[in-house]
């Protein structure tokens, strides 16, 4: 009898094996029952990706097998506990460590006591008995057979209502997490032989699967060891990588290769792990990048400019990155220290209002400068940024601080400083009170050493911040237009207190859009004197 599942023939159904994160880019035209290799460093999200692979299989009415090297049955259930669609009757859990290591003489693997068990390359000799792996292979085969033999085609395990309609064989997904665990007990060649036999079994039984390897994404490029040897036998390779952005993990994934698909999209796709364990992927077909610009850190709206898998906000940022990477290497980015050439900085520019008043003694002027320095240094928004991620330039009556990572730093520093200023001024006499004005702007600058061999900067970025500050009166926090819009796009709270004022023409016919940040606790809601009538 010809069987069908909701309008699809068995031949058609074999092609509908989803690979989480890449369904759209490969249009679901995946080879039948593929077995993929998932490579990535610890913490990159391999286990959660496998979880999603199995849950999507269950939602497609497939049975699932999870082999884990480091999970107990309790941990297995906890992994799926917050998945509302989880149906235990469609899952089989096989703890690799219990099946394999319980049959292995563990004392033989304590290298402190048996240094001869380690060869010159640091890997184990062939101490493990291949028969121990046969036990694991038998358990896998028995599990698959028990699923195949489960009450014909209309009953699931334990008489659960079947979600597979009129199929001769229930479809199965398998995850092996991780193959590298076996290398602790067996020589490389033994593990490779085991995987070869297991792959043959899975293909014979039309089981799709994922084998994980806790190695860096490019570790299989060394053309040696288990990871590379196994990767050559698999139907596809999925790579994951883990980075850090602003103190938080940044994860991405790419489908590196897929058998029968010479035009496999190899673009890195960012993803996040939700509180419920669900993975949310960027659309690999879209050129809209949710990550910030690699150089300036601004949010990217619309189409990003790409260079070496890095997104950029503008051609200027991309060209600057190219110049820097040619000198300092491709790792130059906001996550590394300040280079000594051209870079984009986010400036906090401040000076003391009325410091040049002739009625103030030099001593009082110096006291005000010292008080401002002390207040700025005490701000967590200043202290919390490492020295190699900012540059501080005294200006006589104030200072300019260039932050490498984000335009949020100047704004946070301004808000925190204003709150400290309020407390400071409340306890000071009139001539001791501090009045300040602040300008915030971003742009490229040259970093160089001055005549005293001190680090200094010069360029449009710091000039722009100075011009914005010069427009302010006491307690104004003024922000250049592009920087202000970037902040407002970043967080809704910024939209509440960053307000557009007006345009202002400067030299060479250039026009600046000026914004002001203020609330009850900071800033000045009044229109700056220099903008009146503009």
Beta strand pairing call for 398-403 and 342-352: antiparallel
CATH class, range 10-281: alpha beta
Q: Answer whether 294's CB lies under 8 Å from 312's CB.
A: yes
pLDDT of residue 441: 92
Q: Answer whether 435's CB lies under 8 Å from 475's CB.
A: yes
| Assigned token pair, 502 | 């007006």
pLDDT of residue 497: 93
pLDDT of residue 302: 65
Select from 3.40.50.300, 3.30.70.1230, 3.30.70.141, 3.40.50.720 the CATH code of 342-531. Answer: 3.30.70.1230
Q: What's the rounded Cα separation, in Å, for the pair 352 and 398?
A: 6
Q: What's the rounded Cα separation, in Å, for the pair 446 and 444?
A: 7
Q: What's the rounded Cα separation, in Å, for the pair 501 and 280?
A: 39
- Mean pLDDT per 10-residue segment, the chain (534 residues): 35 54 61 86 91 88 91 91 86 86 47 41 51 88 89 43 49 92 86 93 93 68 69 90 78 85 72 86 55 69 69 72 53 44 84 84 87 93 88 86 89 94 89 91 76 66 88 94 89 91 77 91 92 74
pLDDT of residue 28: 47
pLDDT of residue 341: 57
With a threshold of 0.85, does the pTM exceed it? no
b/e sequence 191-206, b meaning 16+ C-beta within 10 Å? bbebbeebbeebbebe
Q: Answer whether 404's CB lies under 8 Å from 376's CB.
A: no
Closest C-alpha among 487, 461, 479 to residue 391: 461
Could you give the dihedral angle defined by the CA atoms of residues 265, 270, 272 and 278, in that order, rounded to the nearest 10 degrees? Answer: -10
pLDDT of residue 396: 80
Count CB-CB contacts under 10 A for residue 300.
23
pLDDT of residue 416: 94
| Every domain of the chain and the residues it spans | 10-281, 342-531
pLDDT of residue 452: 63
- 10-281 shares its CATH topology with 342-531: no
pLDDT of residue 101: 57
pLDDT of residue 313: 74
């Amino acid at each position: 009898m010809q069987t069908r599942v909701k309008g699809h023939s068995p031949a058609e159904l074999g092609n509908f094996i989803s690979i989480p994160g890449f369904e759209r880019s490969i249009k679901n035209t995946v080879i039948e029952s593929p077995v993929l290799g998932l490579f990535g460093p610890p913490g990159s999200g391999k286990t959660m990706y496998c979880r999603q692979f199995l849950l999507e299989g269950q939602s497609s009415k497939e049975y699932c097998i999870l082999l884990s090297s480091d999970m107990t049955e309790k941990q297995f259930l906890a992994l799926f506990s917050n998945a509302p669609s989880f149906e235990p009757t469609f899952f089989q859990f096989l703890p690799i460590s219990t099946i394999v290591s319980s049959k292995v003489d563990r004392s033989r693997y304590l290298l402190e006591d048996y240094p001869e068990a380690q060869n010159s390359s640091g890997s184990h000799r062939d101490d493990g008995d291949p028969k121990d792996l046969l036990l694991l292979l038998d358990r896998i085969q028995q599990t698959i057979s028990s699923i195949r033999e489960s009450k014909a085609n209309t009953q699931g395990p334990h008489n659960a209502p079947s979600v597979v309609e009129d199929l001769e064989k229930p479809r199965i997904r398998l995850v092996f997490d991780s193959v590298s665990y076996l290398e602790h007990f067996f020589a490389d060649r033994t593990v490779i032989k085991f995987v070869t036999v297991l792959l043959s079994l899975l293909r014979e039984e039309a089981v799709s699967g994922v084998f994980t390897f806790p190695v860096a994404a490019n570790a299989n490029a060394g053309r040696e060891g288990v990871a590379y040897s196994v990767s050559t036998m698999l139907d596809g390779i999925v790579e994951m990588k883990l980075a850090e952005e602003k103190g938080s993990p940044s994860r991405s994934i790419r489908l590196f290769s897929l058998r029968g698909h010479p035009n496999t999209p190899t673009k890195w796709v960012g993803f996040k792990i939700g509180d419920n364990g669900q993975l949310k992927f960027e659309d690999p077909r879209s050129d809209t990048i949710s990550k910030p610009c690699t150089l300036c850190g601004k949010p990217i709206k619309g189409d990003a400019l790409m260079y070496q898998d890095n997104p950029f906000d503008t051609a200027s940022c991309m060209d600057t990155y190219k110049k820097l990477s040619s000198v300092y290497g491709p790792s130059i980015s906001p996550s590394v220290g300040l280079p000594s050439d051209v870079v984009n900085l986010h400036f906090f520019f401040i000076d003391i209002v009325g410091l040049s008043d002739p009625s103030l003694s030099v001593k009082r002027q110096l006291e005000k400068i010292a008080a401002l320095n002390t207040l700025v240094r005490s701000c967590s928004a200043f202290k919390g940024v490492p020295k190699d991620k900012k540059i501080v330039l005294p200006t006589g009556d104030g200072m300019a601080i260039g932050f490498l990572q984000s335009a949020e730093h100047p704004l946070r520093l301004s808000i925190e400083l204003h709150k400290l200023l309020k407390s400071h001024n409340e306890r000071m006499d009139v001539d001791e009170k501090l009045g300040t004005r602040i300008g915030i702007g971003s742009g490229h600058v040259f970093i160089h050493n001055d005549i005293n061999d001190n680090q200094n900067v010069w360029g449009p970025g710091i000039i722009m911040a100075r011009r914005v500050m010069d427009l302010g009166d006491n307690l104004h926090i003024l922000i250049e237009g592009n920087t202000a819009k970037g902040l407002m796009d970043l967080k809704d709270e910024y939209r509440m207190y960053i307000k557009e004022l007006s345009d202002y023409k400067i030299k060479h016919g250039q026009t600046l859009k000026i914004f002001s940040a203020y609330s009850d606790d900071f800033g000045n809601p009044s229109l700056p004197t220099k903008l009146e009538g503009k």
